[in-house]
Structure 1
Amino acid sequence: MPRSADHDSSVTGAAQWRDERSMTEQSENVCVIGAGASGLCTVKNLREQGFGVDCYERETGVGGAWNWRHDRSPVYASTHLISSKPFSQYPDFPLPDDWPDYPHHSQLLRYLERYADHFDLRRHIWFGTEVVRVVPAEGDRWDVTTRSSGGNGAERTQRYSAVIIANGHNWAPNQPDYEGLSDFTGQVVHASAYHDATQLRGRRVLVIGGGNTGCDIAVEAGQQASHCWHSTRRGYWYTPKYVLGRPSDQVNARLLAMRLPLVLRRWIYQRMLRLTVGDLTRFGMRAPDHQVFESHPIVNSQLVYHVGHGTVRPVPDVARFRRHAVELADGSEIDPDLVVLATGYQPRFDFLDPRLLGAGPDGRPQLYLHAFAREHPTLSVVGLPQPDSGIFPLIHWQSVIVARWLRTRMADPGATATLAARIQAEAGRHWHDGKVSDSPRHQFEVSQLTYLRALQSAMDSLEVATR
């Protein structure tokens, strides 16, 4: 097991005690939680700022959600990216030119493994080690308690100068509590337990959920199941993967780069969708109850095809389950024998008191740029934003600004005053163009270009202060 403290720490690791537990001092190092896409670039950018790093990963390899071998991975056999290559790569480590516009999940895992090897990151990672507790200590430091992922062995507590949480938010299933669900005799699974289309073959399938995963599974059910119903609570904007011969997110990026007013961008984009997708209500699908760009779009070129061919039947929201049937919101009943809950995931930080992230009664973190904690300058989160395109450029620059913030704060605390004031004033702000849908699914919604500009502004405030 790699031990980054052996390589990086200038501290000898003298044993201390906290609440009668042995605690090792690593207060010159930074702790990173998670070695997925967010954790890897965080480790890399911290190292470039001269920090010693201990990264804890509960699994036995890198990749996080993109490593299909991991128990918590949400990917299924047919998973491809819904963002195209320019928005699905780190700015300093491009995807191969000969890869397709929308790589397969296995390709992205290889990409992350190459990234880890190229920047020599594995030696800073404790694999098979989970974080069980993070508590504040004096001097804005943190006591981090870890143990073997199998639950065996003694707990170990170490003190760090900072903690960066990068454990992702697509691993804790959101399980809806429908009336009568416990009495239903059919099979009910969350999308996290869906692996490939063989689970659907010959079944009468109800897919609940209108997000990208729900639409993907509905399409596969339309191909493999004897019958498929697709239930959604609301209408959505469905974007094909290609518009005008280009990946749709690249077309949207062109509109953003032109700095057109939001109302004009909406008109242009709705016009393109009308020409390429058409009026979905004529297929029995629900009309969107929100404007374009008020939530990230559903990127799927095949759902409308299967609805139009009758292999996927759109139905309203589920009202309640009965023993052998499901009652829908319009009073009708259907009789699936398999229900797939594509109802998303919850952000969870079981090792941390949520109040440390500014969470209120609803449990939502209140962070500046979805990264910086208001009351704890050495506690940050990388990887929360949900953009209208790929997240890799965002998490790269998130981790860069977090690393520079920590370095500047250690070298010259006064130089961080401007950014510290922004953290206090703007924690919890939505970095989105116009109104955003107020639902748990959209709590981290950002417009990519707006958010990147905000990151640049934050970085500029540090650089100006240190000149």
Structure 2
Amino acid sequence: MSADRSLPRKTSTLVIGGGPAGLVSLKYAVEFGERWSEGEEPILVEMEREIGGTFRWRGYENAELVSSKQLTCFSDFRYPLSAPDHPSLPNFVQYLNDYANHFGISPHIHTSTKVVSLKYPEDPKDGYKHLAVLHRVDPDRRPIGEPIEILAKRVIITTGLHVTPNIPSIPGLNTEPKSPNAPEWIHSSSYKSRSQLEGKEVLILGAGETGMDVAYESIMAGSKKVWLGVRNGFLSFPKVLNNFRVLGFTFNGNLPIDGLITNLFEDTYVHKWVAQSHLRWFISDLVIKRVLWVLTGTMAGCNQWAGELPPERQGRAYVFLNKSAKAMQFINRPFYNLSPLHKLFAHYIDPPPPANQPSIDIVPFPKEFDQDGQAIFNPPPNHREKETAWKTKTCKPDLVVLCTGYKQNWEWLGEGYPRGPEECDIRGVCSAKDLSVGFVGFVRPGVGAIPPIAEMQTQLLLLLSQKRIPIPTSPETYHLLHSPTSRIQYGVDHSTYMSTLSKDIGSSPGLFELWWEYGWFVLFVYCFGAAFPTFYRLTGPFKSEKARGIVETEIWETIQRRGLLGNIFMGVIPMAFYAVINVTAYLIEKTWLFAAPLFGLPLPPDNLMQVGSTAKIKSS
């Protein structure tokens, strides 16, 4: 991986971006792409001097993956069983480097190389439909030497969701006229360690996972005061099921929550009416809320007593779960109201707090900073009226950390290209107008991980651009039910999206097919497992010899960790319940189809996802 090697002037596949999505796209282009002539090999270009993307360049001290290793790893290159369930970001970056070296794709990677523009050439020849202009850059991204032009047959854009900071304009803080006593401010992309927070009064704006991390790090750094600015609320849930005390017994199951949803009748063999109605999501949210109340005394989140969303949007069907929960005990302190009787029955156990019993005050987003550098707030939404620190206390921070996310910049794309995945009508990956350009790694799961989704998206893009499968036509039932006014509209349900892609690709395992080829054990693990990417390498066009061994060892170990009761409550009961719902829908549909011509009734709707439908692979 070097910027010293010369770039080819033609390439069969140009991958733009060196994060997980870029690496897996390059690996598939090398392994499963068309044969190429010398000097036309697939290449990946990355503007930074090392690969790793967000995990390498926008990480910070003590940051860990919020998705489990079991779900985050690629299908055929796994973490060892002895590794932590949620590795640190440096550890995951090392995993990505090991992945590149293991599959021999490092020679195809060119770092310190930035794409300046991408356009359609005026006179494309021999299938080279794209002209990319690149520049070598120094560590500060300043251009070196002359521009380089490369012709490409296929382009895969994997620049990611977290590149250009989204910086809101706040009068008196970062707009003119600036308050003479305005506090220092940084975007979270510039936050690296606790030393930046030590001894300061810190206002964190944004209650996503990064905001919650920074709030916790502020407490642990010994900040004098910590405020957390929240717009509409958040849904807190720890990334590991642990620390519940029930009837005198402490549950320390160490179960990552993103691997608990089972496949059978929840993701596979789901009737089209059930899929489009999102019935599973609503029932799941209904049950989880009641279980949370029993275990923690509140339904707003897991042991979440402040910063809640409006009741009608408290559920994973609507928002991304915030799995950075370490700061919650400090946010909860003024609001915690669990009765002694309830606590005797069940409660959540917080880790021991620092000796000074610090707290984090919830405040709204400031509308401005006054001449003294004090934050002036808009009132919070009505459903959070109990949070009054913004009324009763002065908020005059030394440092404001904008944990306000990122946005995408598509100015470098020429005329005729989709401006991001929102303009891609095929699963948010590519446009039917041009299957030779795709966007990989740009959807975000509510509970799950982007890297395995990127792997499946790459598989879909390759098959479509090679014309080995038809363009999918089944409806998109996987989008989260975001508010229409939400800035982010790219959320998906991880398991539903993975299942949909697998059907498009032709790698969704049929139950009889699994039993016939692999036997009862693999079939059992598949039914009880979550949407692990390895399941979609057991069959189909990207079938892997490694898949069976991974399923029978690592994934089986993950299911075993739930224990007998866990698999009954999180596996058998949901499967049985959803089996009844899906079979009932199937029988109603068949009865309707039979009765419609006899009684002159309209036919039932048939433009929805087909049960167990699978794309047929054409020969290459």
Q: 1:391 aligns with which of 439, 445, 450?
A: 450
| Aligned residues of 1:31 and 1:160 also touching (Cα < 8 A) | yes
Q: Whole-Å Cα distance in 2 between the matches of residues 178 and 261 of structure 1?
A: 41
Residues 333-390 of structure 1: per-residue CA shift (max 9 Å, x gap): 511111000000012234214861156xxx9544422211242221101110101212
Which whole-Å deviations, capped at 9, do the CAs of 1:204-227 have from their partners, x for residues lacking one? 110000111011111111232110
Equivalent AA in structure 1 for residue 326 of structure 2: Q
The residue correspondences of 1:364-375 to structure 2 (distance < 5 A) are 364-375=422-433
Structure 1 unpaired stretches of 5+: 7-12, 14-23, 68-72, 410-414
Please tell me whether Structure 1 or Structure 2 has the larger radius of gyration of its CA atoms. 2
Q: 1:275 to 1:432 in 2, by over 3 A?
A: farther
Deviation, structure 1 residue 325: 0.5
CA contact (8 A) 2:435 2:461 kept: no
CA distance in 1, matches of 2:166, 2:263: 35
**Distance across 2 between alignment mates of 1:358 and 1:430:** 23
What stretches of structure 2 of length at least 5 have no aligned partner? 35-40, 243-252, 271-278, 334-357, 380-389, 507-613
Match of 1:204 in 2: 201
**Alpha-carbon contact 1:116-1:122 (below 8 Å) kept:** yes
CA–CA distance in structure 1, aligned partners of residues 485 and 98 of structure 2: 37
In structure 2, the partner of 1:251 is 260
Cα 1:208/1:453, change in 2 over 3 Å: same
3-state secondary structure, aligned to 1:298: coil
Give the root-mean-square deviation of aligned CA atoms: 2.8
For residues 24 and 77 of structure 2, the distance between their equivalents in structure 1, rounded to whole angstroms, comes to: 10
C-alpha deviation, 1:437, in angstroms: 3.1
Shift of 1:391: 1.8
Match of 2:165 in 1: 173
Q: How far apart, CA to CA, are the structure 2 residues paired with 1:172 and 1:219?
A: 24
Aligned equivalents of 2:54, 2:370: Cα separation in 1: 34
| 2:325 alignment partner in structure 1 | 301
Letter of the 1:392 partner, please give it.
P
- The answer to whether the 8 Å contact 2:202/2:400 transfers is yes
Count the aligned residue pairs.
428
Q: How does 1:317-396 map to 2 (within 5 A)?
A: 317-323=365-371, 324-330=373-379, 332=391, 333-353=394-414, 356-357=417-418, 364-387=422-445, 388-396=447-455
When you count strand as a share of all residues, which structure comes out higher? 1
Equivalent residues in 2 for 1:71-220 (5 A)?
A: 73-137=57-121, 138=124, 141-150=129-138, 151-181=143-173, 182=175, 183-184=178-179, 185-220=182-217
- 8 Å CA contact 1:187–1:337 kept in 2: the answer is yes
Q: Distance in 2 between matches of 1:380 and 1:123?
A: 23
Tell me which of 23, 28, 32 is aligned to 1:45.
28
**Alignment partners' CA distance in 2, 1:257 and 1:49:** 27
Name the amino acid aligned to 1:232.
V
Residues 78 and 376 of structure 1: is their aligned pair in 2 closer, same or farther, counting only changes over 3 Å? same
Task: Give 1:213's aligned amino acid.
Answer: T
Once the two structures are TM-superposed, the CA of residue 443 in structure 1 deviates from its matched residue by 1.8
Whichever residue aligns with residue 375 of structure 2, its letter is: V
C-alpha distance in 2 between matches for 1:341 and 1:154: 37
Instruction: Give the corresponding residue for 2:361.
Output: 313
Q: Is the 8 A contact 1:358 1:373 kept in 2?
A: no
Indicate if the aligned counterparts of 2:370 and 2:376 stay in contact, CA closer than 8 A.
yes
Shift of 1:403: 2.0
Q: 1:85 and 1:304, CA in 2 relative to 1: closer, same or farther beyond 3 A?
A: same
Q: Which residue of 1 aligns with 2:548?
A: none
Q: Secondary structure at the match of 1:238?
A: coil
Distance 1:174 1:276, change over 3 A: farther
Q: TM-score, normalised by structure 1?
A: 0.84
CA deviation vs aligned residue, 1:107-151 (integer Å, no higher than 9, x gap):
101100100100011100112111101001335710011111230
1:237 to 230, 235, 238: 235
Identify if the C-alpha distance between structure 1 residues 32 and 3 changes in structure 2 by more than 3 Å, giving closer, same or farther. farther
| Structure 2 CA distance for partners of 1:254 and 1:399, relative to 1, 3 Å | closer
Report whether the alignment pairs 1:432 with 2:482. no
Contact 1:36 1:63 in 2 (8 A): yes
The reply to whether residue 403 of structure 1 matches residue 470 of structure 2 is: no
- Return the alpha-carbon distance in structure 2 between the equivalents of residues 300 and 125 of structure 1: 33
Worse overlay, 245-254 or 257-266? 257-266
After TM superposition, give the deviation of residue 3 of structure 1 in Å.
9.0
CA distance in 1, matches of 2:132, 2:52: 22
1:96-116 CA distance string (max 9 Å, x none):
211111111111011001001
Change (3 A) 1:305 1:291: closer
Change (3 A) 1:149 1:335: same
Residue in structure 1 matched with residue 342 of structure 2 by the alignment: none
Change (3 A) 1:222 1:288: farther
Residue 254 of structure 1 deviates from its aligned partner by 7.3
Q: Percent identity?
A: 24
Q: Secondary structure at the match of 1:161?
A: strand
Pair 1:65-2:54 in alignment:
yes
> What letter corresponds to residue 80 of structure 1 in structure 2?
E
Please tell me the residue identity of whatever aligns with 2:364. Answer: P
CA deviation string 1:208-251 (max 9, x = no partner): 00111011111111232110011100122110122262122223
Deviates more, 1:260-269 or 1:89-98: 260-269
